[in-house]
Chains A and B, each alone.
Chain A
Amino acid sequence: MRQRSIPLAVVSGPIRATNGGGLKASDSFFAGELWGRMAKASVDARTKGGFSFDLYQRNEMLLKKGLQLPKFRKTGTTIVGLVFQDGVILGADTRATEGPIVADKNCEKIHYIAPNIYCCGAGTAADTEAVTDMISSQLQLHRYATGRESRVVTALTLLKSHLFGYQGHVSAALVLGGVDVTGPHLHTVYPHGSADTLPFATMGSGSLAAMAVFESKFREGLTKDEGIKLVSEAICSGIFNDLGSGSNVDVCVITKGQTEYLRNHQLPNPRTYTSTRGYNFTKGHTEVLTTKVTPLKSKKQAAEVDAMEE
């Protein structure tokens, strides 16, 4: 995969940057090829981006021959966000699935973007991690360059441009929330690069169950405790009604000047049976029947060799 965008500029799709005028959005699928030729021709110092589709034909041929692509680890998920009177509250479950198996029982789906901006991620776990980490670094450099607190719309624009450039192949569905000088903001970003601004949002496989809770109980101007309670209820609805979501509830409360990251705020799925005696077995629990000690053989002597020829 080609290199990513350079940090200092506020990046819009690198594909668009090098295309000049006239190319339609539908052309960006082939822009990789076209762009490749143009970049060689021009003396453009800007770094490359987007997928290279050179191997597309070969991949199609392999698939026809029966090649099995490796499975993605997805975060079949419930992620939510809502705006309350002082800011934004984000919530997420903690189950990461690999097909029908739970790969991680307690993963972190609320990612750090800036001290005042956090982002929940649903979809392919690697994609959400990479994309949020990348935008987080870009924002930090931007903060150094401008000397100001980051704004949510900046993170939003960076995410949108990046995801659009990859034409939906970066499977990251995000709930982005934060509080900046202009106030509290909550956005959803879809894998193809579109975004919405909403008072409350849910994404992931459990989004319908969580949205049912929000649509029936949300109102504007909730207090912090009411907001946390509603978010937890929505995530629990996803955890118990959706098979792709489960385990615990993570909550993140962002207000002006302060962020509270409540990791495992609720643990509604405890182990049913635990041994009261604990699971540490001290020496002496197992009866020793026989003992046999075999010394490790010493290494063979290296054969005599002549000194290397100069």
Chain B
Amino acid sequence: MELQTLAMKDATIVDDGTTERTSYPYVTGTSVIGMKYKEGVIMAADTGGSYGSTLRYKSVERIKPIGKHSLLGASGEISDFQEILRYLDELILYDNMWDDGNSLGPKEVHNYLTRVMYNRRNKFDPLWNSLVLGGVKNGQKYLGMVSMNGTHFEDNHVATGFGNHLARPILRAEWHEDLSFEEAVKLMEKCLLVLLYRDRSAINKFQVAKITEEGVTISQPYALKTYWGFSAFQNPSKGAVGSW
């Protein structure tokens, strides 16, 4: 009998014939940005989980290591992200049980995620996430993205959510091959700062993760310095006292 994995279960069917399916997200994470650099892939996300317009959770880790060679970052519904981590745990476990000296690389994990997302969407029960998958295996860097309807692609730099509108233009103009780690972090922080200013669901608490041939490092959460000292902000009605 085929081993039925978690991912293959049907959408929950309740006795009276109705089906429970995801229609809208509840607790959401905002953008994730990823880019390739000289030694591997760097990814960053803030640690906020919003419940509608409330900032409900301020320490949500949205970037996790997968196996030996990959990093997964997710935006969107946090519970669906946690479910995906369970599927991937199972996947990596079965892979390790083969004990054949081979391990799943980022390309394989990306493909698996694409299949899971696409099949869920075809059942009208999507996992409400935009996933960023980055990794290095045998010297090959890999960075890809999967959205909640199964659209997937690979690129030198990716972003989810608001990051597409605010961070991608900066990355398109300033990313180049073989960035050093410091340059990559600087570029990443530039994008994160713009997102902090202009995305209402962003918070000033970021984690930056990097993956190289040696392994994964996820930084401790830290804050960026913001600037509010523009003279126009100090006195907006300077030109006409009493106007609005």
List chain A positions with a Cβ less than 8 A from chain B. 83, 151-153, 156-157, 180, 182-183, 185-186, 196-199, 208-209, 211-213, 215-216, 220, 233, 237, 240-241
* Minimum CB distance partner of B190 in chain A: A216
Cα–Cα, bound, A68→B169 (Å): 36
CB of B231 within 8 Å of the partner chain: yes
B232: which A residues are within 8 A, CB to CB? 83, 186, 197-199
A197: which B residues are within 8 A, CB to CB? 232, 236-237
A240: which B residues are within 8 A, CB to CB? 169, 172
CB of B139 within 8 Å of the partner chain: no
Given the known inter-chain contacts A212-B166, A241-B168, please indicate yes or no for A151 contacting B194, CB distance below 8 A: no
* Minimum CB distance partner of A157 in chain B: B243
Report whether A152 and B239 are in contact in the complex, using a CB–CB cutoff of 8 Å. yes
- Secondary structure of the A contact surface, majority rule: helix
A186: which B residues are within 8 A, CB to CB? 232
CB of B88 within 8 Å of the partner chain: no
Cα–Cα, bound, A68→B96 (Å): 61
Cα–Cα, bound, A248→B197 (Å): 28
For this complex, 22 residue pairs linking A to B, each with C-beta atoms less than 8 Å apart, are A83-B232, A151-B239, A153-B239, A153-B240, A180-B239, A182-B239, A183-B238, A183-B239, A185-B239, A197-B237, A198-B232, A208-B166, A208-B169, A209-B166, A211-B166, A212-B166, A212-B167, A212-B198, A213-B169, A216-B193, A237-B169, A237-B173
- Secondary structure of the B contact surface, majority rule: helix
CB of B93 within 8 Å of the partner chain: no
Smallest Cβ distance from B228 to chain A, in angstroms? 11
Given the known inter-chain contacts A209-B169, A237-B173, please indicate yes or no for A216 contacting B243, CB distance below 8 A: no
CB of B24 within 8 Å of the partner chain: no
Chain B, 154-197, contact with A by CB distance < 8 Å: what is the 0/1 string?
00000000100111111011000000000000000011011001
Cα–Cα, bound, A159→B174 (Å): 38
Q: Pick the 6 closest A-B CB pairs, nearest first.
A: A197-B236, A208-B165, A153-B240, A209-B169, A199-B230, A199-B232
A182: which B residues are within 8 A, CB to CB? 238-240
From the candidates B165, B197, B237, B239, name the one contacting A209 in the complex (CB within 8 A): B165
Cα–Cα, bound, A212→B33 (Å): 14
* Minimum CB distance partner of B198 in chain A: A211
Report whether A211 and B239 are in contact in the complex, using a CB–CB cutoff of 8 Å. no
CB of B233 within 8 Å of the partner chain: yes
Cα–Cα, bound, A151→B197 (Å): 31
Report whether A241 and B240 are in contact in the complex, using a CB–CB cutoff of 8 Å. no
